[in-house]
Amino acid sequence: MPMKSLAAFSKGTSIKSDPGANPVTTFRVVVDKEVTDHIRSWRLILLLALLALTFFGALYVSLSNIKSVVSNAQDPDSTFLYLKLLTSTDGTMPPFHVFLNFLGPLLGIALGFDAINSEQNNGTLIRLMAQPVYRDNLILAKFVSALILVGTLFFTLVLLMIGAGLCITGVLIEPVEVLRIFTFTILAVVYVGFWLSLSILFSIAFKQTATSALAAIGVWLFFTVFYQIVVNLVMAAFIPRHTIQTEADLVGYNEVMLNILRLAPSQLFSDATTTLLMPSVRSLGPMTMEQMAGAIPSPLPFTESLMVVWPQVSGLLAATFLCFAYSYYLFMRREIRS
Amino acid sequence: MENPVIDLKGLTKCYGSLKAVDDLNLKVEKGEIFGLLGPNGAGKTTTILMMLGLTEPTSGKALVCGIDATTNPILVKRKVGYMPDSVGFYENMTALENLVYTGKLNGIPGNEAHRRSLDLLDLVGLGDSANKRTSVFSRGMKQRLGLAEVLIKRPEVIILDEPTLGIDPAGVKEFLDLIRQLSREQGLTVLLSSHHLHQVQMVCDRVGIFAAGKMQMEGNIHKLSQALFAEDSYSVSITVREPLPASWEYSDELRDIRDVRGLRISENLVQIACASDVTPDIVRFFVAKGLDVMGVHKREFGLDEIYQKYFDNNLIENNAHEKSRSIFKRYIHKK
φ, ψ (nearest 5 deg) of residue A51: -70, -45
Closest residue of chain A to B154, computed from CA coordinates: A17
Pairing between β-strand B18-28 and β-strand B67-68 as defined by DSSP bridges: unpaired
How confident is the model at residue A189, as a pLDDT?
93
Chosen for mutation from A22, A25, A29 (greatest number of chain B CBs closer than 10 Å) is A29
In terms of CA atoms, which chain B residue is nearest residue A118? B90
Give the architecture (CATH level 2) of B230-300. Answer: 2-Layer Sandwich (3.30)
Chain CA centroid to CA B300, Å: 18
DSSP reduced 3-state for A266: helix
The stretch B98-110 carries a mean pLDDT of 90
Q: Which residue has the higher pLDDT, A15 or B65?
A: B65
Residue of A nearest to B158 (CA): A130
Cα separation, B323 vs B314, in Å, equals 14
Q: How does residue A211 score in pLDDT terms, banded at 50, 70 and 90?
A: very high
How confident is the model at residue A1, as a pLDDT? 40
B335 vs A132 pLDDT, higher one: A132
**Residue closest to A130 by CA, chosen among B152, B124, B74:** B74
Torsion of CA A77, A82, A86, A89, to 10 degrees: 60
Q: Please tell me if residue B166 touches chain A, with a CB cutoff of 8 Å.
A: no
Distances (CA, A) of B123 to A18, A235, B24, B116, B118: 21, 71, 35, 10, 9
By Cβ distance, the residue of B55, B90, B185 closest to A335 is B55
Answer whether residue B197 shows pLDDT above 80: no
Average pLDDT, chain B: 81
Return the sign of the alpha-carbon dihedral for residues B212, B216, B222, B226. negative
* Amino acid occupying residue A26: T
Task: Average the pLDDT over A211-218 and give the result.
Answer: 94
For residue A266, the one-letter residue type is S
* B87 neighbourhood in chain A, CB within 8 Å: 123, 127, 338
Chain A contact present for B119, CB below 8 A = yes
Q: Which CATH number is correct for B6-226, 3.40.50.300, 3.40.50.720, 3.30.499.10, 3.90.79.10? A: 3.40.50.300
CB contact under 8 A, B56 and A333: yes
ipTM beyond 0.90? no
Cβ atoms of A177 and A80 closer than 8 Å:
yes
Contacts of B82 in chain A (CB under 8 A): 130
Closest-CA residue of A relative to B182 is A6
Cα separations (Å) of A221 from A93, A198, A214, A225, A227? Answer: 21, 14, 10, 6, 9
Are residues B55 and A9, on separate chains, in Cβ contact within 8 Å?
A: no
Express each pLDDT in A97-155 by its tens digit. Answer: 888 888 889 999 999 999 899 998 888 998 888 888 888 889 999 999 999 999 999 99
Which pLDDT does position B315 carry in this prediction? 42
Q: CA–CA separation, A244 vs A252, rounded Å?
A: 10
pLDDT at B127: 85
Distance CA B83, CA B146 (A): 6
Q: Which band of pLDDT confidence, cut at 50, 70 and 90, is reported for residue A206?
A: very high
- Cβ contact A111:A150 at 8 Å: yes
Across the range A300-314, mean pLDDT stands at 84
Q: What percent of chain B has pLDDT over 90?
A: 7
- According to the 3-state scheme, what is the secondary structure of chain B? CCCCCEEEEEEEEEECCEEEEEEEEEEECCCCEEEEECCCCCCHHHHHHHHCCCCCCCEEEEEECCEECCCCHHHHHHHEEEECCCCCCCCCCEHHHHHHHHHHHCCCCHHHHHHHHHHHHHHCCCHHHCCCEHHHCCHHHHHHHHHHHHHHCCCCEEEEECCCCCCCHHHHHHHHHHHHHHHHHHCCEEEEEECCHHHHHHHCCEEEEEECCEEEEEECHHHHHHHHCCCCCEEEEEEECCCCCCCCCCHHHHHCCCCEEEEEEECCEEEEEECCCCHHHHHHHHHHCCCCEEEEEEEECCHHHHHHHHHCCCHHHHHHHHHHHHHHHHHHHHC
- When comparing pLDDT for B220 and A111, which is higher? A111
d(CA A245, CA A8): 88
HSE of A61 in the Cβ direction (CA atoms, 13 Å)?
A: 16
Structure confidence at residue A262 (pLDDT): 82
Going by C-alpha positions, the residue among A226, A236, A152 that lies closest to residue A189 is A152
Which positions ≥6 away from A269 have C-beta within 8 Å?
A100, A101, A104, A187, A188, A191, A312, A316
In tens, the pLDDT along B3-14 reads 788 888 888 888
Alpha carbon distance B167, B122 (integer Å): 18
Tell me what pLDDT residue B65 has.
Answer: 87
The pLDDT value recorded for residue A17 is: 44
- Is B178 within 8 Å of A3 when comparing Cβ atoms? yes
- Pure H helices in chain A: 7-13, 23-40, 42-70, 81-87, 96-112, 117-122, 124-129, 135-169, 175-205, 209-221, 227-238, 247-261, 265-277, 289-292, 302-332
Q: Which residue has the higher pLDDT, A42 or A81?
A: A42
Whether B91 contacts chain A with CB within 8 A: yes
Which among A68-72, A287-291, B284-288 has the top mean pLDDT? B284-288
Contact B206, B1 (CB under 8 A): no
Q: Exposed, middle or buried: residue A276 (CB in 10 Å: 0-12, 13-18, 19+)?
A: buried
Please report residues of A whose CB lies closer than 8 A to that of B144: 3
Question: What distance in Å separates residue B29's CA from the closest CA in chain A?
Answer: 20
Residue A28 contacts residue A140 (beta carbons within 8 Å): no
Asked if the Cβ–Cβ distance from A134 to B74 is below 8 Å, we say yes
Boundaries of every domain in chain B: 6-226, 230-300
Q: Hey, what amino acid is at A233?
A: L
Name which of B51, B94, B104, B115 to mutate to probe chain A: the one with the most chain A Cβ atoms within 10 A of its Cβ. B104
Report B:39-58 residues touching A (Cβ under 8 A): 45, 49, 52, 54-56
Most confidently modeled range among A2-11, A94-103, B193-202:
A94-103
- What is the predicted pLDDT for the residue at A34? 92
What pLDDT is attached to residue A62? 83
Specify the range with the lowest mean pLDDT, choosing from A135-139, A164-168, B297-301: B297-301
More confident call, A65 vs A130:
A130
pLDDT of residue A317: 92
**A–B: how many Cβ contacts below 8 A?**
135
Taking every pair of Cα atoms in chain B, the longest distance, rounded to a whole number of angstroms, is 78
For the residues B112-123, what does the mean pLDDT come to?
90
- The C-alpha angle with vertex B301 and arms to B296 and B304, in degrees rounded to 5, equals 110
The lowest-confidence range among A46-50, B121-125, B143-147, B232-236 is B232-236
User: Which residue, among A264, A260, A259, A257, has the nearest Cα to A239 in the 3D structure?
Assistant: A257
Q: What is the largest CA-CA distance in chain A?
A: 92
pLDDT band of A282, cuts 50, 70, 90: low
Q: What is the DSSP letter of A337?
A: -
More reliable by pLDDT, A170 or B309: A170
Residue A325 — pLDDT band, cuts 50, 70, 90?
Answer: very high
Query: In whole angstroms, what is the distance from residue A284 CA to residue A258 CA?
Result: 9
A130: left (phi over 0), alpha (psi -120 to 50) or beta: alpha
Query: Which of the listed ranges A297-311, B20-34, B235-249 does the model predict with the highest average pLDDT?
Result: B20-34
**Do residues B98 and B80 make contact, with C-beta atoms less than 8 angstroms apart?**
no
Lowest mean pLDDT among A224-233, B137-146, B322-331: B322-331
C-alpha separations of B175 from A2, A277, B87, B148, B302 in Å: 10, 65, 16, 11, 21
Q: How far is CA B100 from CA A104, A122, B96, in A?
A: 34, 19, 6
Mean pLDDT in residue range A154-165: 88
